[in-house]
């Protein structure tokens, strides 16, 4: 079945967005040093992570740091920047892929850490790397409906365990080239946290309007990228093709209602140089308007879009048109326009 789901918002603004990054930097050279025996045995050249993915380094939580605590800190920063009292927040949506346990939700720990009121609805949303944008859309709908005044969307990712498990497995003698490359994407992951505060546009005229956007599903590809704390297994070639076809289909259909051909900034989900280049080419984007953070942060999952938005903050000016866009495992794609 073909078609986009389209949403428009009349009175919702992004009031702030903040990020908290780990202090420990892990270079791609360090990861490949740990994999040296496997690379030698499989006769794979060094520098794969830099040459193929364009990832030079990523962040990992140092001793005494955690994704939950960092997410709470990002949330506090976002509330302070938006000048919103925690007691006025009516909704908290956590969008993290990372979770320490299945139950309770990650959101309850963050709700407590942020000191939100008992009236604040809180829950997790899982939609792979599109989780943050999905959370923003849900929050915007509840604000538009008058159910709440303020919402927080948060995310915290911890790539340490999955990378350690992956490296340990790739060093086994029974892993061949195909097996190695199916787990290559796990080595590009990074850690980080982000938070955003949303509110009513009429109460915050200086906010950044959330105009709406589209989503589209291609769930026939649900087995192309499957991950857990044990590892992430990907059919990279098929995933790239399926993702590009999905983005192009959504983009073409959206063009009858949205003019996204000349945005000031395209904030894309950060995966790799190959992925970014393919999206730019397929959608015919101006490469100069597509900032990248994957070289220094890697793929930080759902947090990558807000982290990149924070990084671009100094270059964003009032009146700029900003498009958030990405593809998540499953496959799903989402595009959301902001009027800065």
**CA dist., res. 65 & res. 47, Å (int):** 29
225 is catalytic: no
CB 70 within 8 A of CB 32: no
* 316: Cα separation from own chain's centroid: 19
* Cα 270 from Cα 275, distance rounded (Å): 8
Tokens of 81: 């920047």
Within 157-232, residue ranges assigned H as helices are 160-170, 177-182
Pair of tokens at residue 270: 């950060």
Tell me which residue of 187, 162, 201, 156 sits closest to 8, measured CA to CA: 201
103 is catalytic: yes
Radius of gyration for the alpha carbons in the chain, expressed in angstroms and rounded: 20
Catalytic residue among 32, 129, 144, 225: 129
Cβ pair 9, 212 in contact under 8 A: yes
C-alpha torsion angle, residues 160, 162, 167, 173 (rounded to 10): 160
Report helix, strand or coil for 266. Answer: strand
Active site residues: 103, 129
């Amino acid at each position: 079945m073909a078609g986009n789901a389209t949403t428009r918002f009349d009175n919702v603004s992004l009031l702030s967005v903040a990020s908290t990054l780990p202090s420990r930097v892990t270079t791609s050279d360090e990861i490949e040093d740990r994999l040296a025996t496997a690379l030698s045995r499989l006769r794979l050249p060094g520098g794969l992570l830099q040459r193929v993915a364009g990832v030079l380094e990523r962040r990992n939580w140092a001793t005494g740091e955690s994704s939950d605590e960092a997410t709470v800190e990002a949330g506090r920063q976002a509330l302070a920047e938006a000048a919103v009292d925690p007691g006025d927040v009516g909704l908290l949506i956590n969008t993290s892929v990372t979770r320490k346990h299945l139950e309770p939700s990650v959101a309850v720990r963050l709700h407590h850490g942020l000191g939100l009121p008992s009236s604040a609805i809180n829950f997790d949303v899982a939609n792979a790397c599109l989780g943050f944008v999905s959370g923003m859309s849900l929050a915007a709908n509840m604000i538009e409906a008058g159910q709440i005044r303020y919402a927080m969307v948060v995310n915290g990712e911890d790539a340490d365990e999955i990378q350690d498990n992956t490296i340990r497995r790739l060093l086994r003698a029974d892993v061949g080239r195909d097996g190695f490359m199916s787990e290559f994407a796990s080595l590009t992951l990074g850690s980080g946290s982000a938070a955003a505060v949303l509110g009513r546009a009429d109460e915050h005229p200086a906010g950044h309007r959330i105009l709406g956007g589209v989503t589209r599903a291609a769930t026939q590809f649900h087995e192309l990228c499957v991950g857990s704390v044990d590892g992430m297994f990907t059919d990279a070639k098929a995933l790239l093709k399926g993702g590009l076809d999905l983005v192009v289909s959504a983009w073409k259909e959206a063009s009858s209602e949205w003019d996204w051909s000349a945005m000031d900034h395209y904030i894309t989900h950060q995966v790799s140089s190959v992925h970014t280049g393919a999206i730019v080419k397929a959608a015919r984007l101006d490469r100069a308007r597509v900032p990248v953070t994957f070289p220094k942060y890697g793929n930080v999952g759902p947090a990558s879009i807000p982290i990149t938005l924070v990084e671009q903050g100094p270059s964003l000016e009032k009146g700029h048109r900003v498009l958030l866009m990405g593809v998540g495992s499953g496959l799903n794609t989402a595009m959301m326009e902001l009027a800065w």
